[in-house]
């Protein structure tokens, strides 16, 4: 599946689902909510976990790397060859990450977790976290109703949404983008303050932002 295919599905199938849900449960269509959820789906959010900017950047990235491999291991039932193929790294590197991070691959083979449940949980969390950002601007009772419908909406979305796998390199790039966007927002886009809280030098953070983010949208 190409990025163009994913974008076409989101535009023609996912956005109408979001519009219908908002009209039904909020009584209005909030284009910002639709835009944010659509963008997260395009950016591979299904592989991302909640970003905790209270954790220094280097530690947070290591935790994400572990979570990425663990999620692939769950979905692929611990098959190291398949994990290597999807992640874009060789088997030896996968084994090294598993050993270094003490990931219990045999346990995944025994559990054989329900893959769709994992995906549904990821989409549900993404929808609810997006709604949380607009909570104060929405009618309280209608917000609660739509929020409670997130599990049902996530299932409907996944019926239409092809699975998009990211390599480890792509996933780490998305993690960095999400981490710094959230950290900058929490620190009023103050790069010096964000760098201190992330445990990075100002020059390091500034270089990363210039390399990976749209400067006009992120850096003020």
Alpha helix positions (H), 43-167: 57-75, 80-87, 91-100, 105-111, 115-133, 140-148, 150-160
With 0-12 CB in 10 A as exposed, 13-18 as middle and 19+ as buried, what is 192? exposed
Using DSSP's 3-state secondary structure scheme, residue 33 falls into helix
CA dist 72 and 135 (Å) reads 33
CA dist 1 and 3 (Å) reads 7
Q: Determine the pLDDT at residue 154.
A: 93
pTM: predicted TM-score of the whole model, two decimal places: 0.63
Closest CA to 187 of 213, 215, 219, 212: 219
Do 57 and 200 meet the contact criterion of CB atoms below 8 Å apart? yes
Structural domain spans, the chain = 57-111
CA dist 56 and 65 (Å) reads 14
Do 66 and 175 meet the contact criterion of CB atoms below 8 Å apart? no
CA dist 99 and 69 (Å) reads 12
Q: Determine the pLDDT at residue 121.
A: 81
Q: Determine the pLDDT at residue 116.
A: 67
Confidence band of 162 (pLDDT split at 50, 70, 90): confident
Segment 63-122, tens digit of pLDDT:
889 888 888 887 788 889 999 999 999 999 999 999 998 887 766 655 545 556 767 887
Q: What is the mean pLDDT of residues 15-27?
A: 95
Give the sign of the dihedral formed by CA 14, CA 16, CA 20, CA 26. positive
């Amino acid at each position: 599946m190409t990025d163009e295919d994913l974008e076409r599905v989101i535009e023609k199938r996912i956005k109408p689902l979001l519009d219908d849900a908002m009209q039904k449960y909020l009584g209005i269509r909030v284009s910002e909510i639709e835009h944010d959820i659509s963008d997260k789906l395009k950016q591979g959010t299904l592989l991302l976990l909640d970003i905790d900017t209270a954790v220094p950047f280097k530690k947070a990235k290591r935790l994400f790397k572990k979570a990425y491999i663990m999620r692939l291991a769950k979905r692929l039932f611990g098959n190291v060859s398949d994990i290597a193929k999807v992640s874009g790294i060789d088997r030896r590197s996968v084994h090294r990450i598993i050993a270094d991070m003490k990931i219990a691959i045999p346990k995944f083979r025994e559990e054989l977790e329900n893959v769709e449940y994992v995906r549904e949980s990821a989409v549900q969390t993404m929808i609810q976290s997006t709604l949380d950002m607009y909570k104060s601007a929405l009618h309280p009772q209608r917000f609660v109703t739509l929020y409670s419908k997130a599990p049902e909406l996530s299932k409907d979305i996944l019926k239409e949404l092809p699975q998009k796998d990211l390599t480890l390199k792509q996933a780490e790039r998305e993690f960095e983008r999400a981490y710094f966007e959230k950290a900058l927002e929490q620190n009023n886009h103050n790069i010096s303050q964000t760098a201190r809280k992330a445990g990075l030098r100002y020059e390091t953070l500034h270089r990363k932002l210039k390399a990976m983010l749209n400067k006009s949208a992120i850096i003020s």
